[in-house]
Amino acid sequence: MIWAVVPAAGSGLRMRADRPKQYLPLAGKTVIQHSIERLLSNQNIRGVVVAVAAEDGWWPHLQWSAGDRIHRVEGGAERSDSVCNALQWLSGTADDQDWVLVHDAARPCLRAADLQSLIESLQEDAVGGILAAPVSDTIKRADAKQKIAETVDRSVLWRALTPQMFRLGVLRAALEQIKADGVAVTDDAEAVEYLKLQPCLIEGAVTNIKVTHPGDLLLAEEIILRELEER
């Protein structure tokens, strides 16, 4: 079985808005509604577990057409804590061999074709993997004086996107291990890598952006409206 987890307990301070960025309006809905509905549009996904802050006053006001497939848990201080809380809830329902897709609450532009490609590509994989996009810009490494130290070979560099897909048991073990060792990670794949495992890279669209700064919201709306026009 396949489940989805959406950590959504962050405050999004870089957005400088009056509410967490996942609740900002976007093309007639909120950012998080777009993100979750993109997951729920895939019938392979049994349900979505959303981790929100205990004091979150925005979540109860959202309307869902598939509310029976959405489960709320309390989020944690860090993103990895929120994912762990969601996995703990799932452990009472799902099996350790079930797949878990972790998706950012602020990625509202996930393409259905990319989600399906991720699921199909990893079904028989022993570890799992992530959606990612090859780096197209020239990359420079800086020295301590912010001068160019070297030009990095971009042919082996990828931008990590979400969803990221792993077996429930593997992901839980990875997150528990980094917490026990006091290791900070920036995504779930890095936690799995800490166990000396190698996740796969499944190419996804560069339009799968994360809404972080005010300008990202305008770009996301343009992407979503263009998709609607093309249907």
Length of the chain in terms of residues written: 231
| Cα separation, 97 vs 5, whole angstroms | 15
| Cα separation, 87 vs 81, whole angstroms | 10
Question: What pLDDT was estimated at residue 215?
Answer: 93
Query: In the chain, which residues have pLDDT < 70?
Result: none
DSSP type of residue 154 = G
Fold entry, domain 2-230: Spore Coat Polysaccharide Biosynthesis Protein SpsA; Chain A (3.90.550)
Q: What is the pTM of this model?
A: 0.95
In sequence order, the 6+-apart residues with CB closer than 8 A to the CB of 99 are: 1, 2, 3, 119, 122, 128, 165, 166, 167, 168
Question: What pLDDT was estimated at residue 10?
Answer: 84
Kindly list the domain boundaries of the chain, sorted by start residue. Answer: 2-230
In order of 20, 65, 189, 208, the CA distances from 162 in angstroms are 19, 23, 10, 8
Question: What pLDDT was estimated at residue 174?
Answer: 98
Other CB atoms within 10 Å distance of the CB of residue 142: 10
- Of the candidates 191, 207, 75, 73, which has an alpha carbon nearest to the alpha carbon of residue 133? 207
Question: What pLDDT was estimated at residue 13?
Answer: 73
CA dihedral (174, 33, 14, 213) in degrees, to 10, reads 110
Cα 84 to chain centroid distance, Å, stands at: 14
- pLDDT per residue over 106-156, tens digit each? 999 999 999 999 999 999 998 999 999 999 999 999 999 999 999 999 999
